[in-house]
A = this chain, B = another copy of it.
């Protein structure tokens, strides 16, 4: 949709609504982030709201409640088409109509098949003017994880690693703590706080015994997931202590029955520790299961083989490479990725790089899927 003068007029208020929406980052799944502002008939700001968590009030309702009677004859500016169906909360379209608004400005239609234009149609049928597409690109970017899940049936996935400037993720003997400095490690906690699940393979549990939490930056903590074909996992591991965060152990149908029984035993002792049998022990099957559990965005923090498999199955939309100014060397030393099967350099796609960011002495380079 081409911008019109009306679009230009509403962009500043939509920008505010997008800022409000972003306040819910990492907490709204399986829902999108949504923000809303209400202006009175004279164009003065009288209400603001955002969607803070699934099951909680929608952004429009919060903003309209704040505005009260002052919404009458006014304008609602909202980042997503108001819903028109009964979910965990009543339809917002009804609340909008009841508020007596003159017009509604919307960034993007709701791609949820239960809405998909139905909310807009209800508003228009009630005589409310609807302006669509204001700040649509920004709104799509903000909710790209949610949109990715709706389009593919899998969460958007980020693959993160920390390496030396020579591309090693461990020394020859496996030592890897710490490659990056405290600023970069803190940033990884922030990244985790924006994800619904953090995934490793069995090898990472055995080698690094990671904690995988956001260190309290997200509450609840993201789901910690181990994808293990063999279920050959250590008896004692930080991930088995689920007081801080839940842990899910996913495996294929061929997992060793004895190991499965031990996992079941652990699960009975600990709430929040769960086993999950996948139809196949693949990144794709795991992400489909996580989408069913409402994950919009997940983080791979796994070793080279699982990372390469995730890439080959299209299960990585973004790379977050933390690069330390250290030369680690080591012929058998671990690298970020296993075999990808390229034979010519012109088969290797160029990813879309964001500007590099300095995190203390380290460098963060984010690449988005080509």
Contacts from A to B (Cβ < 8 Å): 163-168, 171-173, 175-179, 308, 311, 319, 321, 323-331, 335-345, 348-353, 355-356, 358, 361, 363, 365, 367
Cβ contacts A to B, 25 pairs, < 8 Å: A163-B167, A166-B321, A167-B168, A172-B339, A172-B342, A173-B343, A175-B342, A175-B345, A308-B329, A323-B323, A324-B350, A325-B352, A325-B353, A325-B365, A326-B348, A326-B349, A327-B348, A328-B337, A328-B340, A328-B348, A329-B337, A329-B339, A330-B337, A330-B338, A330-B340
Q: Which 8 A-B pairs have the closest CB atoms?
A: A167-B167, A329-B340, A325-B353, A166-B336, A166-B337, A329-B337, A325-B351, A356-B356
Q: Smallest Cβ distance from A326 to chain B, in angstroms?
A: 5
CA of A363 to CA of B356, assembled, Å: 8
**Would B342 and A328 count as touching, CB distance under 8 A?**
yes
CA of A338 to CA of B367, assembled, Å: 27
Nearest B residue to A368, CB-CB: B325
Chain B residues near A324: list those with CB within 8 A: 350
Nearest B residue to A352, CB-CB: B325
Choice from B319, B335, B342 contacting A335 with Cβ under 8 Å: B335
**Would B327 and A319 count as touching, CB distance under 8 A?**
yes
Chain B residues near A367: list those with CB within 8 A: 165, 325, 327
CA of A351 to CA of B361, assembled, Å: 9
CA of A326 to CA of B352, assembled, Å: 9
Copies in the assembly, this chain: 2
Chain B residues near A167: list those with CB within 8 A: 163, 166-168, 335-336
**Would B171 and A342 count as touching, CB distance under 8 A?**
yes
Chain B residues near A166: list those with CB within 8 A: 167, 321, 335-337
Chain B residues near A327: list those with CB within 8 A: 311, 319, 337, 340, 348, 351, 367
**Would A345 and B172 count as touching, CB distance under 8 A?**
no
Q: Smallest Cβ distance from A153 to chain B, in angstroms?
A: 24
Chain B residues near A175: list those with CB within 8 A: 342-345
Nearest B residue to A167, CB-CB: B167
Chain B residues near A179: list those with CB within 8 A: 345
Nearest B residue to A367, CB-CB: B325
Q: Smallest Cβ distance from A183 to chain B, in angstroms?
A: 13
Nearest B residue to A351, CB-CB: B325
Q: Smallest Cβ distance from A227 to chain B, in angstroms?
A: 19
**Would A351 and B319 count as touching, CB distance under 8 A?**
no
Knowing A344-B175, A358-B355, A363-B356, the reply to whether A350 touches B325 (Cβ < 8 A) is yes
Chain B residues near A358: list those with CB within 8 A: 353, 355-356
Chain B residues near A331: list those with CB within 8 A: 338-339
CA of A327 to CA of B369, assembled, Å: 11
**Would B319 and A329 count as touching, CB distance under 8 A?**
no
**Would B361 and A342 count as touching, CB distance under 8 A?**
no
Of listed A338, A340, A363, A365, residue having the most chain B CB within 10 A:
A340
**Would A353 and B344 count as touching, CB distance under 8 A?**
no
CA of A341 to CA of B175, assembled, Å: 12
CA of A19 to CA of B173, assembled, Å: 49
Choice from B308, B348, B361 contacting A353 with Cβ under 8 Å: B361
CA of A144 to CA of B341, assembled, Å: 44
Nearest B residue to A345, CB-CB: B175
Knowing A163-B167, A167-B166, the reply to whether A330 touches B353 (Cβ < 8 A) is no
